[in-house]
Amino acid sequence: MRGIVLKDKVLMEMVGLQNFLNRSIFGFVFFAMCFAVPQRTLAREGMWIPATLASREANMKLEGLTIPVKDIYNEDGTGLNNAIVLFGRGCTGELISGKGLLLTNHHCGYGSAQRLSSTDKDYFSYGYWAMKPEEELPCQGLTVTFIRKMADVTDRVLKGLPDTLNDKTRDSIAMKRITAIEEEYRKQSGYDATVKPFYQSNQYWVILSETFSDIRLVGFPPNGIGKFGGDAENWVWPRHTGDFSIFRVYAGAGNKPANYDKANKPYESGRFFHINTSGVKEGDFTMVYGFPGTTDEYAYSGRLRQVTGIIDPIAIQARTIRLDVWNKHAAADRAVFLKYTAKNAGIANGWKKWKGELEGLELNKVMDKKIAYEKKFQKWADKQTDLPFANDLLNQFKNETGGVDTLMYMDMYNRETVMGIELVQQSALLDKALGCLRLPLSDSALADTLKKLVAGADGFYKNYDLPTDKDEFTALMTLYAAHMKGKMPVALEAIYKSFGGDIAKWADFVFAGSLAANPVLLQQLSGWKPGDSVRIQNDPAWQIWHAVSQASAEKIAPGLSRYSANLRYLNRLYLEAQMKFETEKSFYPDANLTLRLTYGKVSAMSPDKKTHYPFQTTLDDIIAVDDPQKEDFRVPEKLKDLYLKKDFGRWADNGKIPVAFIAANHTSGGNSGSPILNTRGELIGTNFDRAYEGTMSDYYFDPNRCRNISVDIRYTLFIVEKFGGAGWLLNEMEFAK
């Protein structure tokens, strides 16, 4: 798993890198240069902009591609880009019929399934399968976005702007140009238009897109299939998980985006993926087409040191505690499980990934390699006359990164412990209410504003359990107190000391006395008057939230914000210099949640050169690890019956049902749900994970250890038809001959 939202969000919030997802691209002249030189980079490494694939066509054909790259991406509506969507805010999905049928991961659809589930309709235990269109369930708040066109607008954005112009001035000028470009493309095309920076803001592309908001759940296997193996197998190969779910895109009049309406019709797409069920073998050419989230391949070693020494360790430490508390309560009460399962999956996903990331970076000695590279770079930079800024870049990096470690440490503990407690998070609503009470509003306007504010809290309490959160408070605040001695906000330390350091006693007081802990009392807030603001100021949960938020805003955020701005400036110049330094290397832009294509081959792995892992797993392997005593490894009875009867239909290969396979494609968070394609651009699987040994690929790609993991399309179809009984869906799919 997988999606973008976890580690990358932590990095963005922690360092204040508001533009973290936008950090990738470089000037037009250098871009042309990097593709004009010999391409010695391994074909398996790289996340390529679809509109530039013509420059890689010869290499892709050499690797095994048999279709023209113009079939993969083009602007006339016939490219495969029109069959791929950004699913939600951080996954990928693909159309598998001309009637809007969409395939993505189980974990990408998890949140939607949770919102539709209840103890009476437990889709995690039993799954959900629509047996006719009328049974497809609307997913409130879910969107999918198609990319219709991408165009390089670097010249228009950066014309006349010197490389060393400070980013504040540069961005001010660039943003005015970007706004004009976006407006122009919107008017001309009728699509949404967004200009995104690539290669550390040295290059810019305008992306034309179309977003649909009427999305309905069609098929969702139970956790015994879609989440089989749980956290134990997450980020691990071999995998035995049927990590898929099926949705449908609906459209309004003219086949255009529209809000949910019973009268809407399935979206009619002229481009969707044909399905190939012939299977894969070692060495087969594959492609992954989707929206990788965030990578930092060209980072300075000091930035990597912060990741390995501060960011990842603190996040792992705090989230281990949160998961222990949640898992204990979920195991004891199914209602708690249903409330926390999506949140648990999200937290556990990042936690496991970061552990693998640290191990992989250490195993590959990536820090040593970075430092050795920088020594060579410095020798080269000292001799340059056309890039006078290059020789001092590493020294500036050193000064910048070394000066914020303490701030970063404090910020991580604030966010991962205090602000990780749900009741404290919910106190932000109380703070908004306090702001409203202080505004010069009429009684009716104030009442209306507060009523709307309180109404928005319903979703929070639907998936909240107070005893669970109270235990989490005790555990996380104990960790916080142990590691923030002398660094706590003054106001918070005073509260802590008022309880004599007894955190359990503090928890009793907070959860018994906070308005945010009682949704019934919270509803009364809509009738409050300005004089009632003191009640919020005396609220024990709000006091914690306010103490940390105020201290962060005054003492931490300004320093991290300055660091973010300075780092962004240096990263831009450093990447430009690196591309001059390594003229024979094919540079690709860091991932930034824009449409990319990567390609590689089906390949088994021997990460330690001792243990050999095959490239494919089967249903036999699932049955072999079945354990009815462990929920994560409990195979559904119907699936076992199908196995015992060998009722495999047309989906078996030599008498076995294939489940998952690996290939050496360069993927990242956001690629969850991406189609994995064969040499002819036909769908053979759905990407959902990376191997534990290669999760460091966001910073360093090792072709010997980095593998993407995909559900074999034959397992998906077997589950849909034989297990789910939804074979009617196959009638609208087209299969390759």
Q: What's the CA gap between 571 and 202, in Å, rounded?
A: 10
Structure tokens at 382: 């000292």
Cβ-contact 563, 303 below 8 angstroms: no
Q: Name the residue ranges covered by the structural domains of the chain.
A: 149-211, 396-585, 596-713
Secondary structure percentages of the chain, helix, strand, coil, to 5: 50, 15, 35
Q: What's the CA gap between 274 and 268, in Å, rounded?
A: 15
Confidence of residue 44 (pLDDT cuts 50, 70, 90): low
Q: What's the CA gap between 433 and 532, in Å, rounded?
A: 10
Q: Which residues pair with 48 in a beta bridge?
A: 597
> Which of 33, 21, 12, 187 shows the shortest CA–CA distance to 579?
33
Cβ-contact 696, 361 below 8 angstroms: yes
Which contiguous run of DSSP H or E holds residue 462? helix 458-462
**pLDDT digit string, tens, across residues 504-543:** 999 999 999 999 998 888 888 888 899 889 999 999 999 9
Confidence of residue 457 (pLDDT cuts 50, 70, 90): confident
Burial level of 688, CB count in 10 A (0-12/13-18/19+)?
Answer: buried
Q: What's the CA gap between 218 and 411, in Å, rounded?
A: 42
Cβ-contact 731, 275 below 8 angstroms: no
Of 243, 312, 698, 712, the catalytic one is 243
First CA to last CA across the chain, in angstroms? 32
Q: What's the CA gap between 170 and 174, in Å, rounded?
A: 6
Q: What's the CA gap between 469 and 53, in Å, rounded?
A: 49
As a whole number, mean pLDDT of residues 672-680 equals 98
Q: Is 189 a catalytic residue?
A: no
Q: Which residues pair with 596 in a beta bridge?
A: 290
**pLDDT digit string, tens, across residues 460-499:** 998 999 999 999 999 999 999 999 999 999 999 999 999 9
**Lowest-confidence segment of 115-129, 158-172, 311-325, 599-613 by average pLDDT:** 599-613
Q: Is 621 a catalytic residue?
A: no
607 contacts: CB under 8 Å, gap ≥ 6: 613, 691, 693, 694, 704, 705
Q: At residue 95, what are phi and psi to the nearest 5 degrees?
A: -75, 135
Q: Is 672 a catalytic residue?
A: yes
**pLDDT digit string, tens, across residues 247-270:** 999 999 999 999 999 999 999 999
In 3-state terms, what secondary structure has residue 288? strand
Of 106, 107, 240, 329, the catalytic one is 107
Please determine, for residue 358, whether its predicted confidence score (pLDDT) is greater than 60.
yes
In 3-state terms, what secondary structure has residue 616? strand
> Which of 270, 72, 53, 96 shows the shortest CA–CA distance to 681?
72
In 3-state terms, what secondary structure has residue 265? strand
Q: What's 298's DSSP letter?
A: T
Of 24, 117, 213, 672, the catalytic one is 672
Q: At residue 191, what are phi and psi to the nearest 5 degrees?
A: -100, 165
**pLDDT digit string, tens, across residues 396-451:** 999 999 889 999 999 999 999 999 999 999 999 999 999 999 999 898 999 898 98
